[in-house]
Amino acid sequence: MPVISRFLGIVIAMYWNDHAPPHFHAKYGEYEIKVFLLDGVVEGSFPRRSLKHVLEWYELHREELLEDWRLCENNETPNAIKPLE
């Protein structure tokens, strides 16, 4: 599971050869969500404030996330993405 970013205690990762549609996983403590790249839909539960941070980060880095998805589909290492500041 390649970690592509970490910020505010949140870990963002993608899995090699994960199922479509394109998405990433975010973990915060015992919470985990999946965020779909094409529409921003969220599956799972997260504390409200942390979810806000993840979605803000997603909006800033959507194109980079799509590129990382393509890399993971080809079993290549995704690029690190700048954390939320």
pLDDT at residue 18 in the model: 80
Concatenate the DSSP letters of all residues of 14-75 into one string: --TTPPSSPEEEEEETTEEEEEETTT--EEEE--HHHHHHHHHHHHHTHHHHHHHHHHHHTT
Number of domains in the chain: 1
In a domain, 39, yes or no: yes
Nearest to 10 by CA among 35, 37, 40: 35
Task: Give the domain range for residue 14.
Answer: 3-73
pTM over 0.75: yes
In a domain, 81, yes or no: no
Which is higher by pLDDT, 81 or 85? Answer: 81
Query: What pLDDT, in 10s, does the model give residues 4-37?
Result: 999 999 999 998 778 889 999 999 999 999 999 9
In a domain, 15, yes or no: yes
